[in-house]
Amino acid sequence: MGEKILLAHGSGSRLSHDLIDRILAPPLNNPILSRMDDSAVFDLSGKIAFTTDSYVVSPIFFPGGDIGRLAVCGTVNDISMSGARPLYISLALIIEEGLELEDLRRVVESIAETAAEAGVIIVTGDTKVVNRGKADRLFINTAGIGLIEGEADISGSNARPGDRIILSGGIGEHGMAVMSKREGLQFNLPITSDCAPLNHLTAAMLAASRRIHSLRDPTRGGLASTLNEFARQSGVGITIEEAKIPVHDGVRGACELLGLDPLYIANEGKLVAVVDPGDADIVLVMKTRIGSSRIVDMPAGEILPRIC
Question: What residues between 83 and 102 interact with a copy of itself by CB under 8 A?
Answer: 84, 88, 90-94
CB of 9 to a copy of itself, least distance (A): 9
Task: Decide: is 258 part of the binding site for a copy of itself (CB under 8 A).
Answer: no
Site for a copy of itself in 178-207 (CB under 8 A): none
> Given the complex with a copy of itself, which of 92 and 203 has the nearer CB atom?
92
CB-wise, 82 or 180, nearer to a copy of itself?
A: 82
- In the complex, what is the shortest distance from the CB of residue 249 to a copy of itself, in angstroms, rounded to a whole number? 25
Cα–Cα distance measured from residue 90 to residue 106, given in angstroms and rounded to the nearest whole number: 18
- Cβ proximity to a copy of itself: between 236 and 287 the closer is 236
CB atoms within 10 A of CB 142: 27
Nearer to a copy of itself, 113 or 136 (CB): 136
Do the strands 138-148 and 164-167 form a parallel or antiparallel pair, or are they unpaired? unpaired
Q: Minimum Å distance from CB 208 to a copy of itself?
A: 21
The alpha carbon dihedral of 179, 181, 183, 184 has a sign of positive
User: Which of 218, 173, 205 is closest to 74 using CA atoms?
Assistant: 218
Task: Give the whole-angstrom CA distance, residue 53 versus residue 72.
Answer: 10
- Window 59-88: residues binding a copy of itself (CB under 8 A): 77-79, 81-82, 84, 88
Is 29 one of the binding residues for a copy of itself (CB under 8 A)?
no
Task: Return the range that interacts with a copy of itself (CB under 8 A); candidates 33-41, 99-107, 194-202, 238-246.
Answer: 33-41
Cα separation of 123 and 114, whole Å? 15
Assess contact for 93 and 164: CB atoms under 8 A.
no
> According to the binding rule CB under 8 A, does residue 30 interact with a copy of itself?
no
What is the number of alpha carbons within 13 Å of residue 165 lying toward its C-beta? 30
Asked if 151 contacts 34 with a C-beta cutoff of 8 angstroms, the reply is no
Given 20, 101, 130, 231, the residue binding a copy of itself (CB under 8 A): 130
Indicate the residue among 212 and 241 with the shorter CB distance to a copy of itself.
212
Which three-class secondary structure state does DSSP give residue 12? coil
| Bridge partners for 214 per DSSP | 274
Helix H or strand E segment including 28: helix 25-28
* Comparison of 17 and 289: residue with beta carbon closer to a copy of itself: 17
Min dist CB 189 to a copy of itself, Å, is 26
Pick the piece of the chain touching a copy of itself (CB under 8 A) from 65-73, 152-160, 162-170, 196-204: 152-160
Determine phi and psi for 294, rounding to 5 degrees.
Answer: -135, 135
Check residue 53 for interaction with a copy of itself (CB under 8 A). Answer: yes
Candidates 79, 83, 115, 74; CA nearest to 219 is: 74
Q: Contact with a copy of itself (CB under 8 A): which of 24, 25, 40, 112?
A: 40
Nearer to a copy of itself, 65 or 139 (CB): 139
Which range in 140-148, 187-195, 203-211, 234-242 contacts a copy of itself by CB under 8 A? Answer: 140-148
Q: How far is the CB of 264 from a copy of itself (least distance, A)?
A: 9
Parallel, antiparallel or unpaired: strands 121-130 and 84-96: parallel
Using the minimum distance from each CB to a copy of itself, give the nearer residue, 7 or 203.
7
Rounded to whole angstroms, how far apart are CA atoms 256 and 107?
Answer: 33
Does residue 299 have a cis peptide bond before it, meaning omega lies within 30 degrees of 0? no
